[in-house]
């Protein structure tokens, strides 16, 4: 006979088990491609997806992923710390994230300042533009690699394909790059 006063039983999640998709997963190649074609604006979306994946994990604290993505330079270190802590709980080793986070923040400021420089040579101006856009993507890809490992998808294969939504940003970005190239060489 069942006890009527006994609370219902439910399966509890094991906190120590590796959690799939604990963070936003994407391949590094896709990150570089979208970062290039969106002229770096992809970083805002990337940070939004990372923080959005942490909403339930951070309860009862209510976070605002949109604000954390717009002001991502202030939240880069805390995101990296969360990734590192998650990896340690899974037994994947520690990650000295501070240097990577600082490099990203410094490169965002530096590339923003350098992109305003005027250079006499248009070819050099194009190279400076590409360098300023892609420099912050390198530490961001390193952070993504750690997030992929924490989500048990080392290469980001679950989100490596280019989707139709991605093409909505790649095609206008490619057209804008063509306008830039025509402006440089004509």
pLDDT digits (tens, 9 = 90+) for 57-70: 877 888 999 999 99
- Whole-model pTM: value is 0.85
Section 162-185 average pLDDT: 93
The token duo for 87 is 């990896």
What does DSSP assign to residue 159? Answer: G
Position 16 scores a pLDDT of 45
Section 25-32 average pLDDT: 96
pLDDT at residue 9 tops 80: no
Spatial contact of 50 and 23, defined as CB atoms under 8 Å apart:
yes
The token duo for 92 is 């994947």
Position 104 scores a pLDDT of 97
Spatial contact of 63 and 71, defined as CB atoms under 8 Å apart:
no
Cα(185)–Cα(123) distance, integer angstroms: 8
Spatial contact of 20 and 159, defined as CB atoms under 8 Å apart:
no
Better pLDDT: 153 or 185: 153
Cα(157)–Cα(57) distance, integer angstroms: 23
3-state secondary structure of 87: helix
Q: 19 pLDDT band (50/70/90 cuts)?
A: low
Position 17 scores a pLDDT of 47
Spatial contact of 38 and 165, defined as CB atoms under 8 Å apart:
no
Better pLDDT: 148 or 124: 148
Torsion-angle region of 66 (φ positive above 0: left; ψ -120 to 50: alpha; else: beta): alpha
Question: Over the stretch 82-138, which tens digit does the pLDDT of each residue have?
Answer: 999 999 998 888 889 999 999 999 999 999 998 888 778 888 888 999 999 999 999
pLDDT at residue 156 tops 50: yes
> Which residue in 39, 40, 30 sits closest to 179, CA to CA?
39
Spatial contact of 43 and 111, defined as CB atoms under 8 Å apart:
no
Count other C-beta atoms under 10 Å from residue 62's C-beta: 7
């Amino acid at each position: 006979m069942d006890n009527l006063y006994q609370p219902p039983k439910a399966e509890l999640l094991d906190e120590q088990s590796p959690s799939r998709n604990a963070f936003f997963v994407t391949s590094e190649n896709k990150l570089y491609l979208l970062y290039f074609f969106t002229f770096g604006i992809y970083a805002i979306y990337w940070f939004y997806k990372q923080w959005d994946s942490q909403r339930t994990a951070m309860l009862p604290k209510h976070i605002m992923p949109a604000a954390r993505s717009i002001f991502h330079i202030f939240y880069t270190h805390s995101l990296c710390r969360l990734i590192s802590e998650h990896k340690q709980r899974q037994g994947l080793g520690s990650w000295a994230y501070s240097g990577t986070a600082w490099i990203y923040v410094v490169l965002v400021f530096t590339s923003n300042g350098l992109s305003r420089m005027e250079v006499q040579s248009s070819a050099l101006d194009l190279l400076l533009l590409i360098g300023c856009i892609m420099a912050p993507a390198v530490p961001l890809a390193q952070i993504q690699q750690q997030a992929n490992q924490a989500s048990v998808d080392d290469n980001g294969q679950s989100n490596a394909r280019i989707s139709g939504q991605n093409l909505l940003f790649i095609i206008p970005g490619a057209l804008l790059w063509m306008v830039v190239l025509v402006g440089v060489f004509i």
